[in-house]
Structure 1
Amino acid sequence: MSPVTGSMVIYLLSGWLGSRFPGVDFMSHDNGHLLEVMFGWRGNPHWGPFHLLSTVLIFAGFWLLSAAWRVLYHAQRRHELATAGPYARIRHPQYVGFVIIMFGFLLQWPTLLTLLMFPILVWIYSRLALHEEADMLAQFGERYQSYRQHTPAFIPGKGQTQHH
């Protein structure tokens, strides 16, 4: 989301925001960080709790994405199933990484468009994961079925069974 688009959304909501938060200039860059303003945190929003959490989430998402792609790249070159690194804990770390990054940006600069698009993109990634699972089952058969039974799709530890 560009600052220009965010500013347009703020402009369209300026009447409602102005009545709810009198004395706040929502057209200034700092006040474009709506969560800090709405919770009453004054000062530089780039050091506010939402912005700091956002930064941590964005870096964590990129780290997960990078770690997953490295494992996936090497597994694909060997025509093997990716089960190491992040894939040892969840089946779709690349999609989880994307969602973490998107959520981080949503915290940093929430707009109507990002609020609308976030659940749509999460749904799209979940659908991609289902299609990917069908492909992996066709390619790796029983080995993927066993991996799927022992490794949760998106949340580590959720529904995970013990290896026997």
Structure 2
Amino acid sequence: MVGDPPAYGLWFLALVNAGIFILFALSFFKPATARDWRSLGAFSAFIVALFVEMYGFPLTLYLLAGWLGNRFPGLDPLSHDAGHIWPALFGWSGDPHRNPFHLLSYVLIGAGFWLIASGWRVLHEAQRAGALATTGPYAHVRHPQYVGFVLVLIGFFLQWPTLVTGVMLPILLVMYWRLAKQEEREIETAFGDQYRRYASDVPAFLPRLGRLFKTKEGQIE
């Protein structure tokens, strides 16, 4: 008789998945400065913590097993599907990969990696020209790559919430905010009034919805 495949203890799978997403971020973000490497390092720590619990050791499920078992008698608290948690909390049945939180996570993760990649291309071209990056995603937010990292982190948290990543997420949000402010001071020193005009017109992190449907050409002079 063949037993059910193990839900956890799949350390090789955890390593491979973490490595794939970290390499994706590395290839899209292309860190060049110490600040870039701190950004990528924080992201990588979150990803490792996520996949360790997803495939290796389900710390969150062990800690919450009693509560989940009492609150949801039909749920096996240590099954792999239980790790998604959100469907159980909201009473959704069926395949957890098709619940609204999981589907939204795909959108956020895809959008985040797109922002990281497209932001890097614009920034790289601007740096080569010695100019201020103001086109592409930079026409809508001043820090598209940081926004991209945050979207990916939130997407993964919606897909597989854990106690560790739940603690890490707000810490990383503050860290990215502080890195962005440090970056802005350096850019303002380099570009002066040109950057101040750009910063007064373009939000730091949340785009103005009306501008998302308009194409902004050229750079701010």
Say whether 1:23 aligns with 2:102.
Answer: no
- Aligned counterpart for 1:97 among listed residues 109, 129, 148: 148
1:48 aligned partner, one-letter code: N
* Unaligned 5+ runs, structure 1: none
Report the counterpart of residue 141 of structure 1 in structure 2.
192
Report the counterpart of residue 46 of structure 1 in structure 2.
97
Q: Percent identity?
A: 54
1:129 aligned partner, one-letter code: A
Q: What is the deviation of 1:6?
A: 6.3
Whole-angstrom CA distance in 2 between matches of 1:28 and 1:125: 34
Kept in 2: contact 1:99–1:122 (CA 8 A): yes
Whole-angstrom CA distance in 1 between matches of 2:160 and 2:100: 13
Q: What is the deviation of 1:77?
A: 1.0
Residues 102-157 of structure 1 deviation map (CA, whole Å, 9 limit, x = unaligned):
00000000011111111100000000000000000111111111111111111112
Whole-angstrom CA distance in 1 between matches of 2:131 and 2:105: 35
After TM superposition, the structure 1 = structure 2 runs for residues 1-164 of structure 1, keeping only pairs within 5 Å, are: 1-2=50-51, 3-4=54-55, 7-157=58-208
Whole-angstrom CA distance in 2 between matches of 1:64 and 1:6: 32
Whole-angstrom CA distance in 2 between matches of 1:117 and 1:71: 29
Q: State the SS of the aligned residue for 2:58.
A: helix
Kept in 2: contact 1:6–1:109 (CA 8 A): no
Kept in 2: contact 1:106–1:114 (CA 8 A): yes
Output the aligned Cα RMSD.
1.7
1:38 aligned partner, one-letter code: L
The two structures have a TM-score, normalised by structure 1, of 0.92
Whole-angstrom CA distance in 2 between matches of 1:105 and 1:124: 18
Change (3 A) 1:153 1:64: same
Give the 4+ runs in structure 1 shifted more than 2 A: none
Whole-angstrom CA distance in 2 between matches of 1:115 and 1:123: 14
1:43 aligned partner, one-letter code: G
Whole-angstrom CA distance in 2 between matches of 1:130 and 1:50: 31
Kept in 2: contact 1:6–1:32 (CA 8 A): no
Deviates further, 123-132 or 21-30: 21-30
Q: What is the deviation of 1:65?
A: 1.2
